[in-house]
């Protein structure tokens, strides 16, 4: 019962802690579209959008906004009556004017998050609640500890490894308690994650990765004037991206070894390791696919662009924007593969010596 209460408290209060913003954006407020009219101005189609302000100093104020959709861009919004938008308010000679900055997506995303929470809790019951709590704690550690320390100039790789260890420890303790089985899975996960980090460090150096090819990094530099060790920042991303899959494999292998040992007390150390390796091979086939396909899916626009140009494969893979994805996916996959024998040995030792 204590675990249930603890988990519910985290679910209710942690999102407000994690996602609280310190940026003062009083001029950007939420508004609802009341009407949309299309006009033709010198051959250019524009929209006159009437909105009602939903928050802030000008609550319920109605404003007409001239909006020009930019085709094939992220600012080409399909606006209609009832749409929610984010507008920037400003006064011009005493007259209140506004510009549409973005679509307000948070309500729909909250709905999707609620569906996710309900699905996990209905299927997993208490384990589902604890897994959601674990996810919230992971987000808290990344946003409140890892990122601030990296921004302060600390080594991103070292900070991400330390934070990853805390994420692994807390996640396993919340979901499985502090038992021999969870402790073995923790050690296997930490070893596999560190292996991925070491490989990322080595090949980031060998391939002369700058960490500056990503457009999000360029935004940090040009728009937010943030300077940090972007190579280390890239490597920390490899580690964080690996944790989930590695935890899954480590717990699966550990659970099988402990279950087999509980059913056959006389089973020896070598046979236990063999059991873990056999199960790990089956898990590995799907999990490696999961990791690589996840990274490939995120790079689909890039792959389409490269496919349209007559460029040799050697030239393509030498481009940093693609090299980083290859390093990210392969280092994560190797870390996952190494987790299997490492966890098998650790879990076998602990299952044999369990009292």
pLDDT at 84: 92
- Predicted pLDDT at 305: 66
pTM: 0.73
Q: Are 234 and 216 in contact (CB under 8 A)?
A: no
pLDDT of residue 339: 92
pLDDT value at 274 more than 80 = yes
Bridge partners of 67?
47
Q: What is the C-alpha to C-alpha distance for residues 14 and 140, in angstroms, rounded to an integer?
A: 8
For residue 91, the tally of other CB atoms under 10 A from its CB is: 9
Mean per-residue pLDDT for 328-349?
90
95 membership: H or E segment, kind and range: strand 95-103
Beta-sheet strand order (sheet of 95-103) = 62-67, 44-53, 28-41, 84-92, 95-103
Higher pLDDT, 18 or 153: 153
Given the structure tokens 């204590």, which residue do they identify? 2
Two tokens, residue 265: 């007390």
- For residue 280, the surrounding DSSP H or E stretch is helix 269-298
The domain at 28-104 falls in which architecture? Beta Barrel (2.40)
Domain ranges within the chain, ordered by starting residue:
28-104, 120-352
pLDDT digits (tens, 9 = 90+) for 153-172: 888 888 998 999 999 999 88
- The DSSP annotation for 25-85 comes to -TTEEEEEEEEEEEEEETTEEEEEEEEEE-SSTTTT-EEEEEE---TTSTT-----TT-EE
**Distance (Å, whole) CA 200 – CA 234:** 9
Amino acid 15: pLDDT: 45
Residue 341 has pLDDT above 90, yes or no: yes
Burial class (CB in 10 A: 0-12, 13-18, 19+), 204: buried
Are 141 and 158 spatial neighbours (Cβ–Cβ below 8 Å)? no
User: What is the C-alpha separation between 165 and 273, in angstroms, rounded?
Assistant: 24
């Amino acid at each position: 019962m204590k675990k249930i209460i603890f988990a519910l408290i985290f679910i209710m209060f942690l999102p407000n802690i994690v996602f609280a913003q310190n940026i003062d954006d009083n001029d950007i407020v939420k508004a609802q579209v009341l009407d949309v009219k299309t006009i033709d101005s010198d051959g250019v189609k524009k929209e006159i959008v009437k909105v009602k302000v939903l928050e802030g100093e000008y609550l319920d104020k109605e404003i007409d906004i001239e909006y020009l959709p930019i085709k094939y861009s992220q600012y080409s919004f399909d606006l209609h009556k009832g749409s929610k938008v984010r507008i920037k308010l400003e006064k011009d000679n005493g007259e209140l004017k506004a510009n549409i900055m973005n679509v307000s997506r948070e309500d729909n995303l909250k709905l999707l998050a609620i569906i996710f929470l309900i699905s996990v809790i209905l299927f997993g019951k208490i384990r589902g609640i604890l897994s959601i709590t674990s996810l919230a704690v992971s987000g808290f550690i990344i946003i409140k500890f890892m990122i601030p320390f990296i921004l302060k100039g600390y080594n991103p790789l070292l900070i991400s490894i330390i934070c990853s260890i805390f994420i692994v420890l807390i996640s396993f303790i919340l979901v499985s308690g502090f038992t021999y089985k969870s402790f073995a899975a923790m050690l296997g996960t930490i070893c596999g994650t560190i292996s991925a980090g070491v490989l990322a460090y080595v090949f980031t150096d060998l391939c002369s990765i700058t960490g500056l090819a990503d457009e999000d990094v360029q935004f940090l530099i040009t728009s937010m004037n943030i300077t940090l060790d972007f190579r280390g920042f890239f490597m920390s991303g490899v580690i964080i991206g690996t944790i989930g899959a590695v935890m899954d494999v480590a717990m699966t292998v550990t659970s099988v070894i402990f279950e087999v040992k509980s059913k056959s007390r006389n089973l020896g150390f070598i046979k236990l390791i063999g059991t873990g390796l056999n199960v790990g091979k089956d898990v590995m086939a799907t999990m490696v696919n999961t990791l690589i396909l996840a990274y490939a899916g995120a790079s689909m626009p890039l792959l389409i662009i490269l496919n349209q140009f007559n460029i040799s494969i050697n030239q393509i893979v030498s481009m940093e924007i693609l090299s980083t994805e290859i390093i990210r996916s392969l280092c994560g996959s190797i870390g996952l593969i190494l987790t299997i024998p490492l966890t098998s040995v650790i879990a076998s030792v602990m299952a044999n010596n369990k009292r």
